[in-house]
Amino acid sequence: MTIGSAAVVGDALFDVVNPATGRVWAQAPDCGRDLLDEAVAAAEGAWPGWRADPEARGAALTAGAAAVREAADDLAPVLTGEQGKPLREARAEVLHAAARLEHAAGLRAEPVVITDTPEETVEVRRRPLGPVAAIAPWNFPVQLAAAKIAPALAAGNTVVLKPSPYTPLSTLLLGRVLARALPPGVLNVVSGRDPLGAWLAAHPGIRKVNFTGSVATGKHVAASAAADLKRLTLELGGNDAAIVLPDADVETVADRLFWSAFANCGQICMAVKRVYAPAERYEEVVEALAVRAARTVVAAGTDPAAQLGPVANRPQFGRVAELVSDALAHGARAAAGGRALDRAGYFFAPTVLAGVSDGVRIVDEEQFGPALPVIAYADVDEAVDRANHTRYGLCGSVWGTDLDRAEAVAERLECGTVWINRHLQMSFDEPFAGTKWSGLGVSGGPWGVHSHTEPFVLHRPRT
């Protein structure tokens, strides 16, 4: 663990499994309550100095970004080893994290003058909150760690970062790399098995929790935060619908649609999780996706030919297999895949399911894996209703040739981001927020900085 600026390893360790083999390949420190208290105390101690000087913060974040970029070749194999993704994607994830830190270095919570008269000025300024708990999942451990620590630190908070117990190692290494650039105690990384996450979220020294994970755990975090009125950002799951319109040029958009669902083995909160296709074009859409699924190279992330690695961990692998079996038992047809691959590790054949509809678990629930249901619809109004008929509301997309028509449909989707003829694209400058059960609070760009600060209003007479 990195507490203060020192690497700390307690007595207890836990196993980390390589999903490409299904075997233990490393161990990580299992943080207990005492070490957690130390980490929070380090964050509290570092806060006054860190909040005092925005220019020094910007410089430290820029240096941190450079250090992460330089360490990409060390970080990427660790990420692939514990998460499974192809090595070049692991490297891209590290570089993305570095770019996020660099971008945040330039962000400031600028004051806003709301009254400026001969008698007085009234100005809204923003203050940081204090030590922030950043709790990350296993699908993009490095990228999501950076997405949490960057706005928190830029706004003048300090951080205690906890990775998922499935992917602790790349985050621990990230912490050590960043410790070269950040003052002691500003970023502290604690790894461990749960209930470490619950202890951290409830810790009295923590003033805000920024959590990414499942809806169920997000609700626990919200309940424990309520007891102390901690501030919250929750980025929870999604069940993003892609609506293919009758005028879509399927062959032109098929590659993009396919990878919007299957990138990172479908383990992306804002991946396409269900496709709605017009009945008269249904077989064409299924076929275009199935062809691409069948030719995708699934292999260990260390294999340069790999386009997809294994599912990231045993429970998730089991969940994907269960949802696919359930769909097949309810009359779905596997147009591609439909089963685990017969080899060690958590490899699952990219799966396209046809003849499936709402009411089947893989359509109604978040599968978070390499299996995609395609659902036929009779008219566009029905497709929009079905897309919106969910507790989730993260993102969505509309695919068609007439862009005005596509936009009119896009406006009706109840979610935080909607794309036309694409999915998954997001810049550092835009607000990322889920509606309904997909989240609470807003991240990204100035919104991310605002959500790590609170306003205070200063009334100042002219004389």
Q: Does residue 102 touch ligand TXE according to CB under 6 A?
A: no
Select the span of 78-86, 97-105, 178-186, 197-205 touching ligand TXE (CB under 6 A). 197-205
Q: Does residue 346 touch ligand TXE according to CB under 6 A?
A: no
- Cα distance between residue 225 and residue 434, in whole Å: 19
Count residues near ligand TXE (CB under 6 A): 26
For this structure, is 395 an active site residue? Answer: no
Point out the residue whose Cβ comes nearest to ligand TXE. Answer: 197
Select the span of 92-100, 180-188, 195-203, 251-259 touching ligand TXE (CB under 6 A). 195-203
Minimal distance, residue 369 CB to ligand TXE, in Å: 8
257 vs 268 by CB, closer to ligand TXE: 268
CB-hemisphere CA count at 13 Å for 97? 31
Token couple for 302: 């260390």
- Residues 266 and 367 sit within 8 Å (Cβ to Cβ): yes
Q: Give the gyration radius of the chain's Cα atoms.
A: 23
Q: Which of 31, 265, 269, 415 is flagged as catalytic?
A: 269
Q: Which of 235, 265, 366, 395 is flagged as catalytic?
A: 235
Which of 226, 174, 172, 184 has its CA nearest to residue 201?
226
Tell the burial category of 204 from Cβ atoms under 10 Å away from its Cβ (0-12, 13-18, 19+). exposed
- Cα distance between residue 348 and residue 333, in whole Å: 16
Q: Which of residues 389-428 bind ligand TXE (CB under 6 A)?
A: none
* Helices 282-295 and 250-262: angle between axes, nearest 10 degrees: 50
x/- letters, 263..282, toward ligand TXE (CB under 6 A): ------x-------------
**Phi and psi, residue 56, nearest 5°:** -65, -35
Q: Kindly tell me which residue out of 5, 80, 139, 158 binds ligand TXE, with binding defined by CB under 6 A.
A: 139
Select the span of 71-79, 115-123, 134-142, 252-260 touching ligand TXE (CB under 6 A). 134-142
Q: Kindly tell me which residue out of 19, 64, 156, 165 binds ligand TXE, with binding defined by CB under 6 A.
A: 165
- Cα distance between residue 419 and residue 178, in whole Å: 34
Residue type (1 letter), 195 = P
Minimal distance, residue 10 CB to ligand TXE, in Å: 17
Q: Kindly tell me which residue out of 87, 201, 257, 374 binds ligand TXE, with binding defined by CB under 6 A.
A: 201
How many residues can be counted in the chain?
463
Q: Does residue 172 touch ligand TXE according to CB under 6 A?
A: no
Count of other CB atoms within 10 angstroms of residue 409: 22
- Cα distance between residue 295 and residue 388, in whole Å: 32
For this structure, is 235 an active site residue? Answer: yes
- Cα distance between residue 80 and residue 102, in whole Å: 24
Q: Does residue 138 touch ligand TXE according to CB under 6 A?
A: yes
Q: Does residue 366 touch ligand TXE according to CB under 6 A?
A: yes
Q: Does residue 212 touch ligand TXE according to CB under 6 A?
A: yes
Among all residues, which ones are annotated catalytic?
A: 235, 269
Q: Residues in the site for ligand TXE, rule: CB under 6 A?
A: 135-139, 162, 164-165, 194, 197-198, 201, 212-214, 217, 220-221, 235-237, 269, 316, 319, 366, 368
